[in-house]
Amino acid sequence: MACKSIITIGRQYGSGGREIGQKLAEAFGIKCYDNELLDRAAKESGICQELFENHDEKPTNSFLYSLVMDTYSMGYASSALSGMPINHKVFLAQFNAIKDIAKEGPCVMVGRCADYALESFPTHVSVFIYGDVDTRIHRIARRHDWSDSKAKDAITKTDKQRASYYNYYTSKKWGDISSYDLCVNSSVLGIDGTVDLIKKFVEEKEQRKVPRHLSE
């Protein structure tokens, strides 16, 4: 059965969320958008791609920084956004790109508040991937050839940034079970087992065709 859903994946750093998203997309025969979301948003908005990379899931609390960076926005065309701090322009450009991609058909999107952008989308399935701290430390340390201490610090910092970014721009709470259709501990089943679980969940949800407002 062909996948009909737009699957968004939020993830703790080191939980394997990106790999899970890629493998899930492969299993369904659909596209996976991760950093590609930034490419698409930059192309459609006319904002310098470097700004998307600098602001990627990172909260910017400094108004002065936003004003300075705004000079590098390359003249975003929308007059509705003129005068808006660049971090807000970047978020809205991503927000619009996510919606445009969703209209093109089934896919997997990783991070960038995609679940919030598509919360009213009828075929949307939101997933959050988390993991045991020791497992995540081991994965990050091995990937970057870091000490466990450095990996742990990176996990703490990155998760804090992602949570702050998500909580600031959405009406929901990052990692809270009430914000997602499905939350999975990837440390229990591993990467492939988690992919299989999510795939079965999506297929079952599609088969039942339960309206979102009745499943909440």
Side-chain half-sphere CA neighbours of 125 within 13 A: 23
Higher-confidence position of 213 and 36: 36
- The pLDDT score that the predictor gives to residue 67 is 38
- Multiple choice CATH, 6-215, 1.10.10.10, 3.60.15.10, 3.40.50.300, 3.40.50.150: 3.40.50.300
Which helix (H) or strand (E) segment holds residue 3: the answer is: none
- The pLDDT score that the predictor gives to residue 83 is 63
pTM of the model: 0.84
**Domain locations in the chain as residue ranges:** 6-215
Sign for the pseudo-dihedral over CA of 47, 49, 54, 58? positive
